[in-house]
């Protein structure tokens, strides 16, 4: 099943990381977040780094982003320790 992630950023912003395999999401998003609180996402050919306050990971029944709301199977929430 595909995985989706929503990174909660400062200033009431969020970044969506859709349609990844479990291995991709762990290596590209979850492990960097746990290690230093920063994720890197591509926008076209450019890479952008984001300081993330909270990371929500969803396993979904389909590869559609809209399935986060309706086809959710499991949800995990990761938070950076300390005050935000």
Give pLDDT tens digits for 38-56.
Answer: 999 888 899 999 999 999 9
Closest CA to 6 of 77, 78, 71, 55: 55
pLDDT at 11: 93
Q: Which residues of the chain have pLDDT under 70?
A: 63-75, 78, 81-84
Q: How many CA atoms lie within 13 A of 30 on its CB side?
A: 17
What are the extents of the domains in the chain? 1-55
pLDDT of amino acid 24 = 94
């Amino acid at each position: 099943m595909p995985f989706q992630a929503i990174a909660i950023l400062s200033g009431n912003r969020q970044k969506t990381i859709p349609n990844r395999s479990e291995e991709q999401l762990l290596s590209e998003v979850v492990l960097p977040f746990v290690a230093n609180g920063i994720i890197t996402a591509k926008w076209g050919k450019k890479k952008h780094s984001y300081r993330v306050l909270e990371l929500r990971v969803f396993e979904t029944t389909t590869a559609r982003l809209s399935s986060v709301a309706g086809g959710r199977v499991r949800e995990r929430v990761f938070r950076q320790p300390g005050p935000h």
